[in-house]
Amino acid sequence: MKPERIGVAIEARNEPGVLHQLTGVIARHRANIASVEILDSPVEGLSRIYFELEEVPQPEALLKELGAAPGVQCATQEPSLQKIYGKRIIIMGGGAQVGQVAIGAISEADRHNIRGEHISVDTIPLVGEQALAAAVRAVARLPRAKALVLAGSLMGGEIERAVREVRAQGLLVVSLNMAGSVPEAADLVVSDPVQAGVMTVMAVAETAKFNVARLKRRVF
């Protein structure tokens, strides 16, 4: 079982050395940084820094020291994004196909979320080999991303190479049954876009019994 995460939101001066200072405080409290993001602040000269932390022995003491650090305006504990949004499924490709996959994914995610899961669905319509390949590689850098669905009519070349790279990093890749070499590189190939969305959610949901690794065939 993974350690429970907490979120810590900090508003601090936007200047060199602030992040180093904050991570030093976190290290002294023996907490593990699971993720960090720097966000814009509506106040000029300030930044919002959001940490997700694991194994925090004394959250109140940590928040007190972070809030007292030089340049810090405030530090508050928040529910983690893992707890609120949970696992992310990313759908990209042609607009019409993306929309159809999203219908299946969102409907199935709703079924699991009311049973205690936390699964969110993100979509981005994109065209062009280089743009799609770059987007595929970027999914591996997104926090909480567990699966990618490629929805289109023709994908191959650099996109296929990107798919193989992110699969090697542990990302589940589902492809529509399309022209090009991407289906050959994907974990699962589904002809119907709505069903592709449903099966992707089932594959990442803990409340489902569907396991891609146990399938006897990978094209549906």
- Residue-wise pLDDT for 55-96, tens only, equals 888 889 999 999 999 889 999 999 888 888 889 999 999 888
pLDDT at 214 over 90: no
Handedness of CA 37, 40, 42, 44 (dihedral sign): positive
Closest alpha carbon to 12 in 29, 25, 30, 31 = 25
Higher pLDDT, 5 or 1: 5
Chain length of the chain: 220
Residue 190: give the domain boundaries: 85-214
How many Å apart are CA 217 and CA 34, to the nearest integer?
A: 36
Torsion, CA 193, CA 182, CA 202, CA 105, rounded to 10: -40
pLDDT at 129: 93
Please answer whether residues 48 and 11 qualify as being in contact, where contact means their C-beta atoms are separated by less than 8 angstroms.
yes
pLDDT at 5: 85
Give yes or no: residues 54 and 102 share one domain: no
Please answer whether residues 17 and 7 qualify as being in contact, where contact means their C-beta atoms are separated by less than 8 angstroms.
no
Give 2's pLDDT tier (boundaries 50, 70, 90): low
Helix (H, G, I), strand (E, B) or coil at 58: coil
> In whole numbers, what is the pLDDT of the chain averaged over residues?
90
Sole residue written with tokens 């790279």? 165
pLDDT at 135 over 80: yes
Residue 210 located in a structural domain: yes
Which element (helix H / strand E) includes 215? none
Total domain count, the chain: 2
Give 209's pLDDT tier (boundaries 50, 70, 90): confident
Domain boundary residue, one of 81, 114, 136: 81
How many Å apart are CA 91 and CA 112, to the nearest integer?
A: 18
pLDDT at 160: 96
Residue 135 located in a structural domain: yes
